[in-house]
Structure 1
Amino acid sequence: MFFSTSTGVLALAATQLFIGVSAQLKTCTNNSTLSCHSSSKAPTCCYNYPGGALLQTQFWDTNPSTGPSDSWTIHGLWPDNCDGTYQSSCDPSRAYTNITAILKEQGRNQLLSYMDQYWVNIDGDNESFWAHEWGKHGTCINTIDPSCYTNYTPQEEVGDFFQKVVNLFKSLDTYTALSNAGITPDSSKTYSLGDIEAALTKVHGGSQAYVGCEDGSLNQVWYFFNVRGNAINGQYQATAPLSKSTCPSSGIKYAPKSGN
């Protein structure tokens, strides 16, 4: 894993966990065009289009609480059309609902265990949540289309997608970034949007993140990237958010999770 806070470039090598399987994504060169930066607007296996901006999104759930009390949780990885609009549910034929079974079949048990702790549904139905995120957003990432693999194995892109989202999430520790700036969950304290954004900029390669609130309480963070190459082992470059914060400029609550 490589992450440079000076350039905002994140390059994560995809880990193939299959035994005896040689399938892999087609190779992209280092001079591949950065997504959202081409006038040709033609999708290839090395150019994310139309969803050229990829968002690693996170939750802070408190009512009810989900995940560890000292960590945010995963929402997903969303392709955005570089302008705040997006496609959804792009391939119903690959809208798989048996994500657990797919990951187990691929030998990704460690990944599955991590997801059960950090990629959790507020209603307790993790499987449906994962299926929703894959069907709505994952199937719209064109650079992980089955045609972009050599020796393709069915559902291989599903495992690659979930592993990539987890890798990105691990590199973007929102709780620690805020805590290092003195911004911690508290039942009475409030914080300013500027301070929150400044703290997250440090973990996001110098680029601002989107901060979301509900009823004045902090509840979501979205980290925007452009990608050079495919979405699995390409280089991720942090970029400014395409959406405006839903938080007030001051008086933002950061409620503790239950038991915190």
Structure 2
Amino acid sequence: MNLMMKHYQLIPIAAAVAPLASASLYGQSNLNHSCVLSPKLLSCSPPTLHSNASRLLDTCCVETYGGLLLSTQFWSTYTGLEAQGQKLPKDTWTIHGMWPDFCNGSYTQYCDLNRQYDPVPSPNTTNGLRNGTVVPAYKGANVGTFLEKLGKFDLLAYMNKFWINQGAPNTDFWAHEFSKHGTCMSTFDTPCYGPSYVEHEDVVDFFETTILYDQRLPTWGWLSAANVRPSNSTNYTLSEFQSALSKGYGALPYIGCSGPRYNNTVAGAGSRDTGFTVISEVWYYYNVFGHPREGNWIHLNATGSNSSCATTRGALRYLERTPGSLQ
């Protein structure tokens, strides 16, 4: 999907750029990770930012690697694979992923190439540059089979309903999200599971945790309650989306747009407004207490820019789903 790229600075670090990096981000032991015994510290709070945090904390129990978390969603109008039965759910935005940013808003990616399951890595190097370590394309069984082997058929069905790709199979998208983002979280590092680790349970846990937060974010409902609904004839203003989503979430999320820039449209000819004009995504920011799987979060305003959309009154389209694209 061409909407997967983020707008913040990429920071390459040793764990991200070492060829076939170790499965351990912090060199943890695979013993003694009883998180009930660990303090419920807030990610991005001073104790988790200490330069020796990995020695002072159990990084399997407190997110210390990417403590500024984002739950991200798409508004898509088609999948391109409708003929294969890959369609969009009614009256809801779909899952994009859960991203662990550093606390300053920068980020890294593809942190553990031993857990690289993305068949089409994007970008195809660990730092997004030509001089970065190449991320090898995964050629094994798709990640849906990981869920099947662990008996997670209900999870697989849910993901095929609400975590939808565009132009490629859903399983490719899920693999991308885990490989690019999930491997960069200290709390899903494989040593955290101890000596009884079962292959790919970290992948399943990342998917389930992503869904945990997504289920608390009824973007379509919050917008609908403010009379902001998909329409092929009505135009909207960015502030309408910001007001509705801030009211629902309690903090201002990032709102992303695609489509033509406003100053390249007929209505915006001669305007200085270079924002995009088609509503397409939203990112909700938060910190977490303890392990992200526990779901204890604090909502935050978006860091850096809070939108890529045009700000001119009536400049935005929130388009209806394409006929034949609904489940």
Q: Same fold (TM over 0.5)?
A: yes
2:256/2:309 contact within 8 Å kept: yes
Aligned pair 1:190/2:238, yes or no? no
Find the aligned partners of 2:295 and 2:231 in 1 and give their Cα distance: 38
Q: Per-residue CA shift, 1:97-143, capped at 9, x if unaligned?
A: 53111111121111100111111110141111111111000111111
In the TM superposition, what is the alpha-carbon distance from 1:158 to its structure 2 partner?
0.8
CA contact (8 A) 1:193 1:247 kept: yes
Distance (Å, rounded) in 2 between the aligned partners of 1:168 and 1:50: 19
Return the letter of the residue paired with 2:204.
Answer: G
Gapped runs of 5+ residues in structure 2?
Answer: 1-31, 81-86, 119-141, 260-276
| Distance of aligned partners of 1:233 and 1:74 in 2 relative to their CA distance in 1, 3 Å threshold | same
Residues 176-201 of structure 1 deviation map (CA, whole Å, 9 limit, x = unaligned):
11000100001121222222112112
How far did residue 30 of structure 1 move? 7.8
Post-superposition shift, 1:64?
A: 4.6
Following the alignment from structure 1 to structure 2, what is the Cα–Cα distance between the partners of residues 91 and 201? 35
Is 1:60 paired with 2:83? no
Aligned length: 237
**Alpha-carbon shift at residue 47 of structure 1 (Å):** 2.4
Determine if contact 2:79/2:88 at 8 Å carries over to the other structure.
Answer: no
Tell me: CA distance 1:95–1:130, structure 2 relative to 1, closer, same or farther (3 Å): same
SS of 2:234's equivalent? strand
Q: Which residue of structure 2 aligns with residue 40 of structure 1?
A: 50
Please give the alpha-carbon distance, in whole angstroms, between the structure 2 residues aligned to 1:70 and 1:30: 40
Match of 2:10 in 1: none
Identity percentage of aligned residues: 38
Larger Rg: 2
1:164 aligned onto 2:172: no
Distance in structure 1 (CA, Å) of the matches to 2:33 and 2:217: 25
User: Residue 116 of structure 1 is aligned with which of 160, 179, 201?
Assistant: 160
Q: CA RMSD in A?
A: 2.2
Contact 1:55/1:77, CA 8 A, preserved across alignment: yes
| Cα offset, 1:156, TM superposition | 1.1
Q: TM-score, normalised by structure 2?
A: 0.68
Q: Structure 1 counterpart of 2:91, which letter?
A: D
Render the CA deviation track for 1:142-182: whole Å, top value 9, x for unaligned: 11111222432221111111111112211111111100010
1:246 to 276, 293, 308: 308
Partner of 2:65: 50
Please state if 1:257 is matched with 2:321.
yes
Give the match's secondary structure for 1:171: coil
The residue aligned with 1:21 is: none
**How far apart, in 2, do the equivalents of 1:109 and 1:132 lie?**
20
Q: Where is the strand percentage greater, Structure 1 or Structure 2?
A: 1
Give CA deviations for 1:193-228 in whole Å, capped at 9, x if unaligned: 222112112332x11111001130100001111011
Q: One-letter code of the match for 2:216? A: S
1:236 match: 297
SS of equivalent residue, structure 1 residue 175: helix
Query: TM-score, normalising length from structure 1?
Result: 0.84
Structure 1 residues 207 and 29: CA distance shift in structure 2, 3 A: farther
Deviates more, 1:221-230 or 1:61-70: 61-70
Rounded Cα–Cα distance in structure 2 between residues aligned with 1:107 and 1:141: 24
Would the alpha carbon gap of residues 227 and 70 (structure 1) be closer, same or farther in structure 2, given more than 3 Å must change?
Answer: same
Greater RCO between the two (CA within 8 Å, min separation 6)?
1
Question: Unpaired runs of 5+ in structure 1?
Answer: 1-23
Deviations 1:48-75 (A, max 9, x none): 2231111111001125575124111111
